[in-house]
Amino acid sequence: MIQYIPLIMFAVACLVLLAGYPVAFSLAGTALTFAGVGIMTGVFDASFLSASPSRLYGLMTNQTLIAVPLFVFMGCVLQQSRLAESLLESMAELFKGIRGGLGISVAMVGMLLAASTGIVGATVVTMGLISLPTMLRRGYSPSIATGTICATGTLGQIIPPSIALVLLGDVLSSAYQQAQRSLGNYSPDTVSVGDLFVGALIPGLVLVALYMLYILVVARLRPDLIPPHADDARNPARQGLALWHDLLPPLILIITVLGSILGGIATPTEAAGVGAFGALLLAMSRRQLSLGVLRDVCQRTTKVTCMVFMILIGATLFSLVFRGYGGDELIQHLFDQLPGGATTAMLLVMLVIFLLGFILDFIEITFVVVPIVGPVLLAMGIDPVWLGIMIAVNLQTSFLTPPFGFSLFYLRGVAPASVTTRQIYRGVVPFIAIQLCLLGLLAWWPELATWLPEQVYG
């Protein structure tokens, strides 16, 4: 029974989270409770807790994690610059000759916002406020409209610069080093956030293409759900100028941030600093920056950053106690007993992450599940970049899966009363299927995630 304490501890942490307690305190409280009981009963070595100060100091001095507040700041500033409104208006005019053009415009703007901000909540709320009334007014089915907005709003999970990829890259880097040490390699190559950024580019663009293909197919087969766009007599030259005026600034920002990473000029943290400064310049050029706006942006950035780092501290304590109870050896033993080796283990982990996505947030899964299973999977020979992208795409579905999908809550909060929760849930189902298709495509063709990093970094 004692050897199964790590699994019991994991189950208790999930139950506490479901009870509605804050994530950071749920993880830390569960870990300290199990450690205290274990010390009193003599089944846990108290010396494991003595490593916690050095672990926490490692978090404080982690250069990679500095990118988190910088990318959050960049996203908050761009949200205040009314970038999405201008882009959506121009894109809608550009694609108005295509049936389903407004839906394609929403997908394109969602992709650009994802590459500019990387914040899912901000994108969903902004797109919900701007595009949902327009889509409903033009006769779009509420399910199609809400599903498109929710799905494109989650692109910030997979398209860099993504906070999820920053956090996942840091966790996987530690897991990869631990796996290599267990194999006797004490000077392993590192896995960086930049590797995941580059690896996520092609899968992210494929996902956007699949979204747009779905919209075009529905528009062709079910014209009652997606009616054609009413034409008007606007000047085409004026439309082109407006499009470039709205499109050029975010494109320059995206190319600067991602190009500096791909070109090896800057690390993700340095590129985040450049992006934050560029977002300030963009907001100033649009005359949307004031002291009040800057104060609001700083407060929101501080809140999000504090939440992330508190969860990091709680997750660090949780993983420390989990390993103290022999959780690593237990997971290794369970995976070794599975028929099919690494393939079955990977399939099981993907299934568990997908199911946990129904009830847990991506941050919770990243900090609780990945440190547990990551070292074991990587020690079995699985490519770390491919594993990271598979997990990232899987985690993206957690924003869409009822009943606790965060995108659903974000949109429900800004959607008109005429749009029911049932319609929102029904609308995201096809997009969940599309994401699972991409997951299957990545499993069948890993080069989608690994080819570009190999070309860029050799």
Angstrom distance (rounded) from CA 6 to CA 14: 13
Contact 236, 35 (CB under 8 A): no
| In contact, 229 and 96? CB cutoff 8 Å | yes
Are the C-beta atoms of residues 285 and 82 closer than 8 Å to each other?
A: no
pLDDT (0 to 100) of residue 117: 63
- AA identity, residue 440: G
What is the per-residue pLDDT for 121?
65
In this predicted structure, what is the pLDDT of residue 230?
A: 59
Angle between helices 5-18 and 291-324 (to 10 degrees): 150
Neighbours of 16 (CB within 10 A): 18
pLDDT single digits (tens) 390-410: 999 998 887 788 766 777 877
Tell me which residue of 163, 422, 185 sits closest to 311, measured CA to CA.
Answer: 163
Q: Which of 174, 152, 37 is nearest to 103 (CA)?
A: 152
Residue 290: the pLDDT is 82
| Mean pLDDT in order along the chain per 10 residues (458 residues) | 80 80 83 89 82 79 79 78 71 75 86 72 74 84 90 85 84 86 74 86 93 92 79 52 71 81 78 85 80 86 83 82 81 78 87 80 79 87 91 87 74 82 89 93 92 83
Q: How far is CA 15 from CA 19, 21, 237, 247, 275, in A?
A: 6, 10, 59, 46, 39
Note whether 226 and 140 are within 8 A (CB): yes
